[in-house]
Structure 1
Amino acid sequence: MANVFDTAKYILEQSESGFMSTMKLQKLCYYSQAWSLVWDDAPLFDEDFQAWANGPVCPELFFKTKGKFSVNASDETRGIGDLSDNQKDTIDKVLEYYGKHDAQWLSQLTHMEDPWIKARAGVPAGAECSNIIHQGRERDAVQNLDF
C-alpha cells in the first residue's frame, strides 16, 4: 500500500508551479484520502489525520516538512511507485477541483465539514488537538459534494 509520502510526492509533481505551501499539501492529501474512500472504497494510505486548529494534518507529513513554508517534489525523496493508475486518477480529480484554491481557502472549507468539527468537539478554537479524524468521517465530508 502507498503511504502519505507517495501521495504528497505525486501531488507536488503535478503542481503547475512546482511547489506549494505545506499547509496546502496537507489539505490536498486529506481530500485525496477522503475521495479515495468514496470513489474506490479504499484508503490511499494508512496514516491518520488529526483535527489541528488549521484543519486536518497528517503528523508524519507535518514532521517531515516541519520548518518549511513551501515544498516541491524534490523535497520528497520517496517514490510514487506504489500508487496505482486508479489512485493517481483519484488524486488528479482532487487536484482539478481543489488544486486551484489556496491553503487558507482549503483550511476554511475543512472547518465547515463534519469530520473536522466532530473531531474537535469540546476543543477551544485555536487550541492544540491530536484527535484523529476517522476515515468514515472523511468519507462523510465529501459524499455530498458534486464533481
Structure 2
Amino acid sequence: MPHTIIADYFIGLSNETQTLITNLKLQKLVYYAQSWFLALNKTELIHEDFQAWVHGPVIPQLFNDYKIWSWKPIIREDLNKEKFDAIKAVLPPEVKALLADVEYEYFGLTAYELEKLTHNEAPWVITRNGLPNDAPSNRVIPKSLISDYYSKFVVNE
C-alpha cells in the first residue's frame, strides 16, 4: 500500500476531530502504523522505507509532500468527511482495525511526544548508532529491525 493512503487517513482524521497535525506528527503516526502492522502481520503495511532522521523516522517522499507547511499544521480541505469515509471504505478490515489502534494509542500525543518515543526505541537508536544527535542521516531503518522490536510487545492470544 502506498504511504499516501495512510497519510491521507490520518490527515482526514485530524480534519474530522479538529485536531491539528503537522508533518512531524504525521510521519510518526505513519511510522507507528507500519511498525505495528509489521509486528502483528509479519508483512509491511506500506512499501516505502523510513530513514533515521534527526527528529525520528521519516519517509523522505512523505516529508517532501508536506514540507511547504514546515512546522505548521497541515491544511487539506479536500480531505472532507466524504473523502475520509471513502478512504476508510477501501481499507481492508485488518488495516482499519490497526489504524484505530494507532489512533487510540498515539493520535492524542503531540508531535514532540511522538518524537521522544521514537528516540527511545531501538529501531531509530540502532540505525543512528554513532551519529551525533543533530547529524543529518539518510540511513534506512530496516523493516526487519522494526518488526523484531515491536513483535516483542505483541501478546499472542
TM-score over 0.5 for the pair: yes
Q: Which residue of 1 aligns with 2:45?
A: 44
1:31 aligns with 2:58: no
| Partner SS, residue 150 of structure 2 | helix
- Gap regions ≥5 residues in structure 1: none
Q: Which residue of 2 aligns with 1:85?
A: 93
Q: CA deviation at 1:47?
A: 0.6
In the alignment, is the contact (CA less than 8 A) between 1:12 and 1:73 conserved in 2? Answer: yes
Over the residues paired in the alignment, what is the CA RMSD in angstroms? 2.1
Distance 2:65 2:25 in 1: 15
- The structure whose residues are more often strand, as a share, is 1
Deviations 1:25-62 (A, max 9, x none): 10000000000011122211101100000000110100
- The structure whose residues are more often helix, as a share, is 2
Match of 1:109 among 117, 130, 154: 117
| Partner SS, residue 74 of structure 2 | strand
Deviates further, 6-15 or 104-113 = 6-15
Distance 2:90 2:64 in 1: 22
Q: Which residue of 1 aligns with 2:141?
A: 133
TM-score by length of 1: 0.88
Distance 2:56 2:50 in 1: 9
| Partner SS, residue 52 of structure 2 | strand
TM-score by length of 2: 0.83
Aligned length: 145
1:71 aligns with 2:74: yes
| Partner SS, residue 130 of structure 1 | coil
